[in-house]
């Protein structure tokens, strides 16, 4: 079986040069909570191999997989994210899901503090909850009007709990950021 580094390289080799530059640009930004960004000077003119080496040096192999998945998801390269589903990451084995003994209510109760800071893209969750008629347009706009991601997350989680809509929230979260769910369930 190929090493993590070889599998990451294979994924980056599927990116064109413009997409590779965009991928590298994302690495210079805070991608995941508690993960440092890579300084621009360390990625300028970097090849695909040098990019993988820099990611592994910065995040270790498993963390580099998580970062790669997050960036590719932001870039809408879902097929490349799926190529990495069999690669071990820091969030545990692929395919983890809510255990039979757990419930969306328990998941939210156990992980509320982490969810308040770790949901980075709340918009798809808000849209799904509005489509499911859990949130009204006004409630969604109220959440979106908050200044920071943490404030938005706190407002949304509060509404979800008050409405008893943890199952809808869990489903929407899993659809929009399954790697965060896997990480929290790990």
Q: Choose among 115, 111, 106, 141: nearest CA to 126.
A: 141
Q: Pull the structure tokens for residue 100.
A: 């039979």
In this prediction, residue 58 carries a pLDDT of: 84
In this prediction, residue 99 carries a pLDDT of: 43
Task: Please tell me the total count of domains within the chain.
Answer: 2
Q: Which of 29, 54, 83 is the last residue of a domain?
A: 83
User: Are residue 75 and residue 109 in the same domain, yes or no?
Assistant: no
Please write the tens of the pLDDT for every residue from 121-136. Answer: 899 999 889 988 989 9
In a domain, 90, yes or no: no
* Domain that includes residue 174, residue range: 104-185
User: Are residue 16 and residue 65 in the same domain, yes or no?
Assistant: yes
CA within 13 Å, CB half, 103: 6
In this prediction, residue 93 carries a pLDDT of: 36
In this prediction, residue 34 carries a pLDDT of: 65
User: Are residue 78 and residue 8 in the same domain, yes or no?
Assistant: yes
In this prediction, residue 178 carries a pLDDT of: 80
pTM for this entry: 0.50
Q: Which of 83, 117, 147 is the last residue of a domain?
A: 83
In a domain, 173, yes or no: yes
**What parts of the chain have a pLDDT lower than 70?**
1, 33-34, 88-102, 186
User: Are residue 72 and residue 114 in the same domain, yes or no?
Assistant: no
Q: Which of 83, 113, 128 is the last residue of a domain?
A: 83
CA pair distance 3, 100, nearest whole angstrom: 33
In a domain, 99, yes or no: no
What is the distance in angstroms between the CA of the first residue and the CA of the last residue of the chain?
24
């Amino acid at each position: 079986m190929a090493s993590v580094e070889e599998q990451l390289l294979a994924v980056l080799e599927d990116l064109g040069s413009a997409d590779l530059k965009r991928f590298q640009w994302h690495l210079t930004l805070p991608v995941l909570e508690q993960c440092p960004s890579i300084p621009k000077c360390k990625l300028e003119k970097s090849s695909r191999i040098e990019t993988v080496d820099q990611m592994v040096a910065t995040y270790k192999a498993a963390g580099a997989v998580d970062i790669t998945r997050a960036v590719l998801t932001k870039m809408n390269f879902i097929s490349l994210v799926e190529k990495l589903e069999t690669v071990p990451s820091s969030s545990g084995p692929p395919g983890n899901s809510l255990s039979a003994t757990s419930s969306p209510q328990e998941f939210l109760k156990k992980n509320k503090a982490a969810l308040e800071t770790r949901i980075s893209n709340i918009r798809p969750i808000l849209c799904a909850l509005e489509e499911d008629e859990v949130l009204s347009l006004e409630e969604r706009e109220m959440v979106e009007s908050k200044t920071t991601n943490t404030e938005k997350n706190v407002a949304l989680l509060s509404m979800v709990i008050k409405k008893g809509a943890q199952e809808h929230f869990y489903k929407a979260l899993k659809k929009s950021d399954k790697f965060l769910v896997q990480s929290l369930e790990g």
